[in-house]
Structures are given as structure tokens and as C-alpha cells.
Amino acid sequence: MSNINGKVYAMNAITPMKPWKTSVLKTIFFALEHIKPLQQDLINLSFIEFARWVSVPRNGFPYLGNGQAREELKYDYLLFFSNFNGTWNQYIDAFSAVLSKGLDLVWRWSEKFPGSVPVTLFKEYIARVQFDTDYYFTAYPHATANDLKSAHIVQASFDSLIERTGKCTPEEFGDAYLNFVIQVQAYLGDTGQAPIVF
Amino acid sequence: MPNQNGTIYGLTILSPIINDEKATPSHDLQIRSYLASMPVGEDSPFALAPGTHLARLVVMDDVVFVGAPSIEEHLQSKYLVFESNCDGDLDGYLSGLAAAAPQDLDAIWSHCVGYPGAARPQAFVDYMKACQIETTFFFAAVNNKSVPETLRALQTQRAVADFIASHQGMEPARLQAEFVHFATRLRSAPLPKPGSPASPRPIKTGGRNE
């Protein structure tokens, strides 16, 4: 079991939904995908590298024959996979504090979902529906979501300065370099080993 | 298309695990044992194959009963969940996996129903697609950068921080010459390997805040 690799935590959760509710949820996700301001809270959380919800219809589990028994389910299932920085408690607390309306909109269609506020019942529910990761890979274990965003800002400014360097006098370069330092100074935080999680 | 966010593909695969009561240990346990011993760093099969940002493999034993009055039900099969956040088109990504790490893929997926083996790349791709579930909603914090671009940017960020720290107050002509040299060296530096840890930095002491 390895829910953690470097600075990232892999969370998996599965919740049952009555089939008629799946189409309602898909409509909500469609709106969330196409109306970008609705994603702003998710973006602002800033410690999620990737996350996804996957709705599996009760007759939608892969069936390949070869002796495999067909599933006979009454519920559809909603799978949730998240790749986030920090600890489980920090993540669920932040979800509850910042994203409660959005989360309620997504998970209220799942059976017995208590709401994301108050946080105690929400944590109990997530703990019940979560299952552990057996293998977890990240291409950049030393970096957080904020590190990635910062690194790309530094790279863009750096490329722009290189382009100008050959075309300017030392004095002009001095000014351009100073501007570059001002542009990137907030994005140079050190990456490195993950803190020990208790 | 919910599987795609920008240039990043959100792949979700559920492969049914062989349910054979006579197998000892059971197939799901054999998968778990193998995964527990598979390297997660730069020797990971996902580091050797191109294009994986983050990926996970999970044995899903059953669905969850959340309590009455909901109905208790169970899956007929256990499923191997493969969740990957990767670059580019799906066929190219899966073919790259089959080419780079066939032994690992076979050791894991040979316990799944109908697995054809990685030695037949097209059959492997078709099998994976048969087990694919469409992602309903996919969020990516950075959705327009490939794995090499991200590794390059992290390398640049670190090198630039060191360069700025060690070139404070330098007169412009010398600064320009040293920057050109630094930029040339950095651009020709090999890319860090995916999955590799950052090399530790020495802790600098003696600053004015101590």
C-alpha cells in the first residue's frame, strides 16, 4: 500500500448512486466543465495536481467474457481519484471549508452522503468509502502543484530573457535582468524532499 | 471530451481480475505482491515509458456498503484500477507502455481476464480500451505542458534560483557574459529522469537572520 509518493497523496473513493441520479450528476459535471468560473474554487485550492470523477453505470463495468461473471448491480457507482499535496486531514478540511457547495452538488446524489459541513461526518463518510492505493508513480515526486505552476512561469521568463540577451548592450541587459528577477522572485521557492507525514 | 483536459489525457481502466478459487495465492493477491515490489522512482515502468505525469494501480476488492437503508451488494469480480494522467494520444501512450515495460505489464495484467500480453502491441491497446471507462470530469492544475517540459521547467527554476543568488550586485557586462554561458550550459544539460528525487541542497548557514 502506498497512498503517498514524495509530495503527492493518491486518494480513491467509491460511492453508490441510484441510477436516475446519474444523469443529473452528469449535467452538473457538464456545466462545471464548460463554465470555467465554476472551477475557480478548485483552482484556488492550489494543492490538487490532477483529480477526476468517473461515473460507472450499474451495467457499465467492463465485461470480457472468458468465464468472467456479469455484474448484477442495483446502483451506479461514482469513483473519485485525486492527486493532492499535503495530508489527508488537511485535504478533507480544506475541501470542507472552501469547496463545500461544489462538493455537496457532486456527492449529494450518492447514498447516505451527509454533506461536507460539518466536517466530522464528512470525514467519517470519506473514510468509509475510501480504498487504498497499491502502487503510485509521479514523474516529479519532489514538486507540488504550486511548484509546477511556478516553474513554468520561471521557464517562460527565462526563455524570454535569453531571446533578448544577444540583442542588447550590457546596460540594457542589466535592466532586463533586473526586470526578470522581479518577475520570477516570487516563483523560486525550493523544491526538495517531502516532509515526514505523521 | 471529459477524458482530455488541454493536452493531458485522463485514462481510467478497470480490468477484471481472474476469479479462480483454486489459485493459490489468489490472483488479486499476486498482483498486490508484485506491485509492492515494483520500483516507484526512475526505474518505474511508468518512468521508462514516455508521457506519464502521475499514475496509480489499485486492486478494488468490492464496492462499498454505506449503511442502511441503502442496499448491500457486491461485485462478482475484483478489478485492477489503472488511473493515469498522461501526455498525448491514447494509442501512442499505451503502445509506448507496451514497448518500454512488457515484463512488468505482463506480470501485473496476466492475472486479469482476457489479457493478450504486451508482445502483441495492437491487441494490448485494444484490450486496454475494452477496459476503459470514460472519465466524467477531469481536472488538471497544469493542462498544457508535457512531462519533459515540466521536468525542464523544474530544472530551470532550481538553476535560476542558484544563479540569481550567486550573481547579486555584479556589473552588467560580466553578468551578461555569465548569463549567456549559464543559459547555454543549462539548455544542453540532460533532462532529469522522470520519477527521480531532487538532489538535496546543502543548507547555507551564517546568514544575517541567524
Per-residue pLDDT of B36-87, as tens digits, reads 999 999 999 999 999 999 999 999 999 999 999 999 999 999 999 999 999 9
In sequence order, what are the beta bridge partners of B85?
B10, B54
Task: Say if residue B130's pLDDT is above 80.
Answer: yes
| B106 falls within a domain | yes
Average pLDDT (B145-155) is 97
B17 and B76 co-located in one domain: yes
Chain A residues in contact with B8 (beta carbon < 8 A):
50
Share of chain A above pLDDT 70, in %: 97
Closest chain A residue to B10, measured at CA: A52
Residues 50-109 of A with CB under 8 A from B: 50-56, 60-75, 77, 79, 81, 83
| Cell numbers for B196 | 527521480
d(CA B92, CA B171): 50
Q: In terms of domains, do B126 and B151 share one?
A: no
Residue B156 with chain A: CB contacts under 8 Å:
151, 154-155, 158
Report the predicted TM-score, pTM, of the whole model to 2 decimal places: 0.93
Between helix B102-109 and helix B27-37 the angle, nearest 10°, is 150
Predicted local confidence at residue B204, as pLDDT: 62
Interface size, chain A vs chain B, as Cβ–Cβ contacts under 8 Å: 281
Categorize the per-residue pLDDT at A189 as very low, low, confident or very high, splitting at 50, 70 and 90: confident
With a cut of 90, say whether residue A55 has pLDDT above it. Answer: yes
DSSP annotation string for B77-125: S-EEEEEEEEES-HHHHHHHHHHH-HHHHHHHHTTBTT---TTSHHHHH
CA angle in degrees (0–180, nearest 5) for A97-A101-A107: 105
Same domain, B23 and B122: yes
- pLDDT confidence band for A32 (50 / 70 / 90): confident
Question: With contact defined as beta carbons under 8 Å apart, do A147 and B154 qualify?
Answer: yes
Claim to verify: residue B125 and residue B164 sit in the same structural domain: no
The arithmetic mean of pLDDT across residues A169-175, rounded, is 95
Residue-level pLDDT at B206: 60
Residue A74 grid cell: 442495483
Contacts with A61 from chain B: Cβ below 8 Å: 14, 16, 75, 77, 79
Is the pLDDT at B207 greater than 70? The verdict is: no
Q: How far apart are the C-alpha atoms of A95 and A9, rounded to whole Å?
A: 15
Asked if B47 and A137 come within 8 Å (Cβ–Cβ), the reply is: yes
Q: Which cell is B18 given?
A: 481472474
Q: pLDDT tier at B91 (50, 70, 90 boundaries)?
A: very high
Clarify whether residues B39 and B113 are in a common domain.
Answer: yes
Residue range A39-49: mean pLDDT, rounded: 80
Q: Which residue of A has its CA nearest to B177?
A: A170
**Distance from the B200 Cα atom to the nearest Cα atom in chain A, whole angstroms:** 7
pLDDT higher than threshold 80 for residue B210: no
| pLDDT the model gives residue A41 | 74
* B42 neighbourhood in chain A, CB within 8 Å: none
> Within this chain, do residues B36 and B125 fall inside the same structural domain, yes or no?
yes
Q: Do B18 and B87 belong to one domain?
A: yes
- How far apart are the C-alpha atoms of A184 and B161, rounded to whole Å? 9
For residue A178, the one-letter residue type is L
The answer to whether the Cβ–Cβ distance between A166 and B180 falls below 8 Å is: yes
Quick check: A167 contacting B, CB < 8 Å? no
Supply the mean pLDDT for chain B: 93
Mean local confidence (pLDDT), A106-116: 94
Same domain (yes/no): B79, B117: yes
Cβ distance B153 to A181 less than 8 Å, yes or no, reads no
> Whole domain around residue B173: which residue ranges?
147-188
Q: What is the DSSP string of chain B?
A: -TTEETTEEEEEEEEEBP--TT-SS-HHHHHHHHHHHS--STTSHHHHSTTEEEEEEEEE-------TTSPP---SS-EEEEEEEEES-HHHHHHHHHHH-HHHHHHHHTTBTT---TTSHHHHHHHHHHTB---SEEEESS-S--HHHHHHHHHHHHHHHHHHHHTTT--HHHHHHHHHHHHHHHHHSPPPPTTPPPPPPPPP---TT-
Q: Please name the member of A73, A112, A129 whose beta carbon is closest to the beta carbon of B73.
A: A73
Residues B161, B91, single domain; the answer is no
Q: Phi-psi category of A46—alpha, beta or left, where left has phi over 0 and alpha has psi -120 to 50?
A: left
d(CA B34, CA B106): 11
Q: What is the pLDDT of residue B16?
A: 98
Q: Which CATH number fits domain A4-131: 3.30.70, 3.30.110, 1.20.140, 4.10.280?
A: 3.30.70
Domain ranges of chain A: 4-131, 145-187
CA atoms of B54 and B29, how far apart (whole Å): 24
Q: What is the CATH classification number for the domain harbouring B62?
A: 3.30.70
- Average pLDDT of span B174-182: 96
Q: Are residues B120 and B180 in the same domain?
A: no
As given in the structure block, the three cell numbers for residue A180 are: 526578470
Tell me what pLDDT residue A33 has.
Answer: 84
The verdict on residue B137 lying in a domain is: no
pLDDT for residue B201: 67
Q: Are residues B20 and B109 in the same domain?
A: yes
Strands B8-16 and B79-87: antiparallel
A195 touches chain B (CB under 8 A): no
- Min Cα separation B126/chain A (Å): 12
How many domains would you assign to chain B?
A: 2
- The verdict on residue B11 lying in a domain is yes
**Among all residues of chain A, which has the CA nearest to that of B70?**
A111
ω into residue A118 within 30 of 0, thus cis? yes
Query: Looking at the predicted structure, is the pLDDT value of residue B134 above 90?
Result: yes
Query: Does any domain span residue B42?
Result: yes
| B121 and B160 belong to one structural domain | no
Phi, psi of B209, deg, nearest 5: -90, -5
